[in-house]
């Protein structure tokens, strides 16, 4: 797979041929890796659409089973078998388009119609952002694999401002494409958290505060 922006890929006039031990390697425009569909421009649109379709199918199954389930059981099925599909997919790309956000809203709306309007259904886009903040915190606390322990950098300076030591440095980017990368978008979401949450050292309290913030 050849990766690049759509503009640069459009200028590729000749087909790239790669051989390994005398065998031609096929060129592809879609590849599934660790459950994620990669595309040449890393838009992850196909990946989101696949997750949305899978979640929609499971909602239809839940609708057929609903009359045999209590509200509590239906809610648990939604939380355990549908929500993870969307939130796991959304973590790859935090900058969702308006169309993708509307699709998330449709999942929430249909879930309320199936389970009941009196049952709390979380906002999926907020769940995705909350999970991103948890990953950022794990990176900062080095409770993650070595490759990501230095992924984010704390902004520290000599000025005695309130945010000193609890803000992240956002990477300098030139393209909108780069702003969609997890390193940039996750740092931006983390920096938008209230100061008292970012300053909290206890991880359990930190996660409890995240739950309240993204309710």
Per-residue pLDDT for the chain (215 aa), expressed as one digit of tens each? 888 888 888 887 777 888 899 899 988 888 888 878 888 888 888 888 989 999 999 999 999 999 999 999 999 999 999 999 988 866 677 888 899 999 999 999 999 999 998 888 889 999 999 999 999 999 999 999 998 889 998 887 766 677 777 889 888 888 777 788 888 999 999 999 999 999 999 999 999 999 999 98
Is there a single domain that holds both residue 76 and residue 96? yes
- Which one of 85, 101, 122 terminates a domain? 122
Backbone dihedral region for residue 22 (phi beyond 0: left; psi -120 to 50: alpha; all else: beta): left
- Specify if 1 maps to a domain: no
Q: Count of domains in the chain?
A: 3
CA–centroid distance for 99 within its chain? 16
Q: Residue 163's pLDDT is what? A: 74
Alpha-carbon span 111 to 215, nearest angstrom: 17
Same domain, 52 and 106: yes
Going from the C-alpha of 69 to that of each of 74, 119, 133, 157, the distances in angstroms are 6, 14, 34, 56
Task: Say yes or no: 101 and 145 in one domain.
Answer: no
Which of 122, 154, 172 finishes a domain? 122
Same domain flag for 208 and 136: yes
Residue 19: which H helix or E strand, with range? strand 18-20
- Most distant pair of Cα atoms in the chain: their distance: 64
Q: How far apart are the first and last CA of the chain?
A: 40
pLDDT at 176 (0 to 100):
76
In this structure, are 77 and 93 located in the same domain?
yes
> 29 and 6 in contact (C-beta within 8 Å)?
no
Examine residue 192 and state whether it is found in any structural domain, yes or no: yes
Same domain, 143 and 209: yes
Alpha carbons 107 and 59: distance in angstroms, whole number? 8
Do 51 and 32 belong together in one domain? no
The last residue of a domain, from among 94, 122, 150: 122
**With left for phi above 0 and alpha for psi between -120 and 50, is residue 131 left, alpha or beta?**
alpha
Contact between 64 and 74 (Cβ < 8 Å):
no
The boundaries of the domain holding residue 12 are 6-38
* Whether residue 170 sits in one domain with residue 117: no
Computed over its alpha carbons, how large is the radius of gyration of the chain? 21
Same domain, 206 and 136: yes
Instruction: Determine the pLDDT at residue 214.
Output: 92
Rounded Cα–Cα distance for residues 49 and 87 (Å): 13
Q: Are 107 and 140 members of one domain? A: no
């Amino acid at each position: 797979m050849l990766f690049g922006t759509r503009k640069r890929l459009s200028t590729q006039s000749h087909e790239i041929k790669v051989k390994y031990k005398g065998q031609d390697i096929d060129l592809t425009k879609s590849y599934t890796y660790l459950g994620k569909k990669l595309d040449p421009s890393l838009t992850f649109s196909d990946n989101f659409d696949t997750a949305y379709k899978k979640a929609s199918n499971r909602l239809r199954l839940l609708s057929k089973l609903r009359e045999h389930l209590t509200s509590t059981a239906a809610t648990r099925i939604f939380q355990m078998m549908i929500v993870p599909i969307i939130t796991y997919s959304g973590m790859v790309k935090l900058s969702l388009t308006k169309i993708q956000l509307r699709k998330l809203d449709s999942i929430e709306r249909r879930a309320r119609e199936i389970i009941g309007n009196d049952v709390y259904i979380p906002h999926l886009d907020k769940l995705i952002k909350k999970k991103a903040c948890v990953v950022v915190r794990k990176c900062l606390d080095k409770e993650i694999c070595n490759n990501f322990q230095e992924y984010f950098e704390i902004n520290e300076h000599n000025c005695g401002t309130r945010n000193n030591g609890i803000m992240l440095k956002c990477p300098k980017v030139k393209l909108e494409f780069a702003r969609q990368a997890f390193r940039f978008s996750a740092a931006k979401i983390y920096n938008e958290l209230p100061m008292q949450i970012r300053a909290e050292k206890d991880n359990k309290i930190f996660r409890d505060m995240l739950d309240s913030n993204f309710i």
